[in-house]
Amino acid sequence: MTREYRYLDGIRDALTHQMATDDRVLTIGIDVGRPDGPYTVTKGLYAAFGGERVLDTPIAEMGFVGAAVGAAMAGARPMVELMYLDFIGSCLEPLLNQASKISYMSNGALSVPLVVRTQMGTGGSAAAQHSQNLEAMLAHIPGLKVVVPATPTDAYGLLTSAFADPGPVIYIENRSLYRFRSGERPDDGYAVPLGQARTVTSGDDVTLISYSRALHDCMTAVPQLQEDGIAVDLIDLRSIVPLDFEAVAESVRRTHRAVIVHDAVETFGVGAELTARISTELFDWLDAPVERVAAGYAPSPFAPSLERANLPNPERVRNAVRAACGLAAVEPAAA
């Protein structure tokens, strides 16, 4: 452990370590080589490992994702970078019908040790075609794992575990976090198990569940809620599939209240799945309905003011937690 650390450093360092220690690992995607990658996440890989292992591709997502699925089945361990999660629509078939299914259909004789790195995130006026948070859509496909790191250390550790997994893992970054700094560089090979949630703060009044960028809104709201006399058990899911529901359940059994926060649209989202399971499996422990804070059911707007209005923020989180605890909303301060 040596220095304060950026989210993109965690991704780059974990990927570099994997390529240095396993010559089966390939990096494939648009601009990942000589241009140093979208958002410079793969900077330096081409110089270190050459064009045979760091492959710049045409703008042909169906082609290079399909090729990576085949390479994984043949014994390689490819990492595909999909520039925006929105572009999953251009290459879903090899993931939906091949990568996620082939182990089941071959009775385990074939595996697809594939990592698909991509980034999501509303903000920065990227508008409707470059701002979608589609993690729930991918989590709906049996056979895919879906990982959503929120911190630099977890960015490193979860990517390490994604490479160790025998099946396809969709590793979803949030571009608003790339230059977020926190903690120190992990040791080489540091791993965070997939499907293991993290308790960020401990409290007995309400369970607050989040992941990725929205977790930071929750962390901002927690001190405000402490001033309101509310002790928050804040849980970072870290992965959507596998889901650490037991961590959620243990917390809700203590607090008797739950609030779920994510940037994706509320309708049919991760929050909907968690709400259903909490309400069904933990009904006898609940003292209040489950609350959700999420984006509205609409394409992401271009205007920054409308983007901000559509996203979770600490004020919305605080008021949702207050509602779960039977308290009135706090009005925003006058400008």
Catalytic residues: 130
Yes or no: say if 261 and 312 are a contact pair by the CB < 8 Å rule: yes
* β strands within the chain, DSSP E: 4-6, 25-29, 54-56, 77-82, 115-120, 145-147, 169-174, 181-184, 198-201, 206-210, 232-236, 239-241, 258-265, 291-295
Pairing mode, if any, of strands 198-201 and 232-236?
Answer: antiparallel
Listed residue (231, 247, 150) closest to 195, CA to CA: 247
DSSP 99: I
Cα angle for residues 206, 212, 215 (degrees, 5° grid) = 30
Distance of CA 96 to the CA centre of its chain: 19
Residues 6 or more apart whose Cβ sits within 8 Å of residue 20 = 48
Cα angle for residues 88, 276, 128 (degrees, 5° grid) = 30
- Assigned token pair, 249: 């359940």
The span from the CA of 80 to the CA of 71, in Å, is 11
Listed residue (217, 237, 247) closest to 320, CA to CA: 217
Distance of CA 249 to the CA centre of its chain: 21
